Amino acid sequence: MNEPVTKGKCIIFSAPSGAGKTTIVQHLLSELDALKFSVSACSREPRPNEQHGKDYYFLGVEGFKKHISDEAFVEWEEVYTNNFYGTLKSELERIWFEGKAVVFDVDVIGGLNLKRFFGANALAVFVQPPSYEVLEERLRARSTETEDKIQMRLSKAREELAKAPEFDQILVNDDLEKACGEAKQLVTDFLEA
């Protein structure tokens, strides 16, 4: 497969797990009609409330590896062993064909890979928690994961926080309403430039 035919504008939101990027992205999608969410592909099984094509493209491990060999991804990453996430070229082409800007809600490495790929056509925003301690509180408040998973996410978060300066903008999420307003302004300015 070749690179996407078109390269429209992209907005990339990345953050450690629990920083609030998904909430901010959902807010932007409800406020700005020019944006369309890029549904990522993954190798894991869907959770009970998730739908294929809406939350993720659930490809399974073998299906994901086949897409890699077919060069169907703009970027992909093996986040944990046999736990793959990536962005399908076909998903971007679909959104640009609709005349919209693509919005990504991706992990930090994925965000940096996308930024490198799209260059000046992308705005990469790092959503930063007010502190590491607040991030830990947020992860624990979810009550959705085992202690081992929480520790794994926290360990990864330390590495991810160190990469914040590599993004175009750092958005500190210490007040969600304020962070959503700042995000909307950043995105609007970028789209109008």
Q: Confidence class of residue 153 from pLDDT cuts 50, 70 and 90?
A: confident
Q: Confidence class of residue 106 from pLDDT cuts 50, 70 and 90?
A: confident
Domains of the chain and CATH, by start: 10-192 (3.40.50.300)
Q: Confidence class of residue 3 from pLDDT cuts 50, 70 and 90?
A: low
Lowest mean pLDDT among 27-31, 97-101, 118-122, 156-160: 156-160
* Residue 132 tokens, joined: 């590491």
Residue 4 has pLDDT above 70, yes or no: no
Query: What's the rounded mean pLDDT across residues 8-24?
Result: 93
Q: Residue 99: what pLDDT?
A: 93
Give the chain as a 3 state SS string.
CCCCCCCCCEEEEECCCCCCHHHHHHHHHHHCCCEEECCCEECCCCCCCCCECCCEEECHHHHHHHHHHCCCEEEEEEEECCEEEEEEHHHHHHHHHCCCEEEEEECHHHHHHHHHHHHHHEEEEEEECCCHHHHHHHHHHHCCCCHHHHHHHHHHHHHHHCCHHHCCEEEECCCHHHHHHHHHHHHHHHHHC
Q: Give the whole-angstrom CA distance, residue 10 versus residue 118.
A: 8
Query: What's the rounded mean pLDDT across residues 96-100?
Result: 94
Cα three-residue angle 121-66-37, rounded to 5 degrees: 35
Q: Residue 145: what pLDDT?
A: 78
pTM score, whole prediction: 0.85
* C-alpha pair distances (Å), 71 with each of 5, 9, 53, 95, 98: 14, 22, 19, 19, 23
Percentage of the chain modeled with pLDDT above 70: 97
User: What integer best gives the mean pLDDT of the chain?
Assistant: 91
In tens, the pLDDT along 107-146 reads 898 899 899 989 999 999 999 998 888 888 888 887 777 8
Q: Confidence class of residue 1 from pLDDT cuts 50, 70 and 90?
A: very low
In tens, the pLDDT along 18-74 reads 899 999 999 999 999 999 999 999 999 998 899 999 989 999 999 999 999 999 999
* Ramachandran sector of residue 101 (left: φ over 0; alpha: ψ -120 to 50; beta: rest): beta
Query: What's the rounded mean pLDDT across residues 138-157?
Result: 84
* Residue 20 tokens, joined: 């609030």
